[in-house]
Amino acid sequence: MEKVRQYESKRIEICRNCGGTGHVTPKVEGNFLLRRLQCPERLVPCDVCDGSGRVEKTINIAITVKSFQ
Ligand SMILES: [Zn+2]
């Protein structure tokens, strides 16, 4: 006999990748002077939350109970 219990919960959280702003500073290779020339203050939309600043987190928990043999 085996029993499986499943729990699912969803919650909205602030995106950790961008800190809730929805935008991040792009990572550019090269030295500091070159970076300044290419993009001084440009921001790109966050990959994780698509610029919304929030993410939906789904938590799935499955507990299986069976006889010990
Ligand atoms: Zn984000």
Distance from residue 24's CA to the centre of ligand 1 (Å): 8
12 alpha carbon – ligand 1 mean position (Å): 12
Q: What angle do CA 9, 5, 12 make, to 5 degrees?
A: 5
Map residue 5 onto helix, strand or coil.
strand
**Predicted confidence (pLDDT) per residue in 12-69, tens digit:** 999 999 999 999 987 766 665 555 555 556 789 999 999 999 999 999 999 999 999 8
Across 4-15, average pLDDT: 97
| Residues within 5 A (CB) of ion ligand 1 | 15, 17-18, 46, 48-49
Query: What does the DSSP 8-state code read for residue 69?
Result: -
Domain ranges of the chain: 2-66
* pLDDT tens-digit map of 19-30: 999 999 877 666
Provide the pLDDT for residue 4: 96
DSSP state, residue 52: S
What's 12-43 look like in SS3? EEECCCCCCCCEECCCCCCCHHHHHHHCCCCC
- Sequence letter at residue 36: R
**pLDDT for 69:** 83
